[in-house]
């Protein structure tokens, strides 16, 4: 029922957290968290009422109404009173995710984020918002790679290599090989006269080689 991507996210949750599942859609992640005792309480929210109704049906099926509270909300805007300590945002684009973080009525201690695109922008902006990238796991699910990032509200440093390629994790080596092939493919398509663009891709390939040689 639950994807490898959502299972990996769930296993990053500490049991003592007050968890918000933002954009819960069907509610599978929230249900998995409670059923597997990975946390005691989840606030599952979505901007879409139809999605919430579907989540409600699924939650009722497992009789988890007491442990999972459903809230209609744009991001974290209606969740202030729950004192959320961990917000999970998965399955959305980076622009939507960053808007949710920027418009949150409280500074959330920890985020687990799985974006669909623009990972470099996500890492850089989260750093600018005061979040340190603590962990990054890449999951291969149905032939697609999904970087899952853990951010903690904490001052930290970030460099260009981490922004562009991700936080080094030796378990992600297959992903780095895939990324290198992708970058080489792109490089071959860029005309020689496009010096700046080619230079940027070459730099990324160098960063990836550094990770592969570790």
Ligand X SMILES: C[S@@+](CC[C@H](N)C(=O)[O-])C[C@H]1O[C@@H](n2cnc3c(N)ncnc32)[C@H](O)[C@@H]1O
Element (H, E) at 56: helix 49-61
Q: Please count the CA atoms within 13 angstroms of the CA of 31 that sit on its side-chain side.
A: 19
- Work out how close the CB of 179 gets to ligand X at its nearest, in angstroms, rounded to a whole number: 22
- Work out how close the CB of 89 gets to ligand X at its nearest, in angstroms, rounded to a whole number: 8
For 62, the token pair is 């497992």
| Bridge-based pairing state of the strands 144-153 and 110-115 | antiparallel
| Bridge-based pairing state of the strands 68-72 and 42-46 | parallel
- Work out how close the CB of 160 gets to ligand X at its nearest, in angstroms, rounded to a whole number: 28
| Contacts of residue 29, Cβ cutoff 8 Å, sequence gap at least 6 | 2, 6, 9, 10, 21, 88, 90
- Work out how close the CB of 167 gets to ligand X at its nearest, in angstroms, rounded to a whole number: 20
Nearest residue (CB) to ligand X, 27 versus 166:
27
Nearest residue (CB) to ligand X, 98 versus 165:
98
Chain contacts with ligand X (rule: CB under 6 A):
6, 22-23, 25, 46-48, 51, 74-75, 90-92, 96, 100
Nearest residue (CB) to ligand X, 79 versus 133:
79
Nearest residue (CB) to ligand X, 49 versus 191:
49
């Amino acid at each position: 029922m639950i994807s490898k991507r959502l299972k990996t996210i769930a296993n990053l949750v500490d049991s003592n957290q007050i968890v918000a599942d933002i954009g819960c859609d069907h509610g599978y992640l929230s249900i998995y968290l409670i059923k597997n005792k990975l946390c005691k309480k989840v606030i599952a929210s979505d901007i879409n009422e139809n999605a919430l109704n579907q989540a409600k049906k699924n939650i009722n099926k497992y009789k988890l109404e007491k442990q999972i509270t459903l809230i209609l909300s744009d991001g974290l805007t209606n969740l202030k009173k729950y004192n959320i300590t961990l917000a999970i945002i998965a399955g959305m684009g980076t622009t939507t995710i960053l808007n949710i973080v920027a418009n949150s009525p409280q500074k959330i201690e920890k985020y687990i984020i799985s974006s669909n695109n623009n990972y470099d922008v996500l890492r850089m902006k989260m750093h600018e918002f005061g979040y340190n990238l603590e962990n990054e796991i890449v999951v291969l699910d149905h032939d697609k790679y999904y970087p899952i990032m853990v951010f903690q509200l904490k001052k930290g440093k970030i460099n260009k290599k981490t922004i562009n390629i991700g936080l080094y994790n030796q378990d992600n080596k297959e992903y780095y090989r895939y990324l290198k092939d992708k970058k080489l493919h792109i490089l071959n398509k860029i005309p020689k006269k496009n010096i700046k663009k080619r230079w940027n891709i070459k730099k990324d390939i160098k960063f990836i080689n550094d990770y592969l040689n570790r």
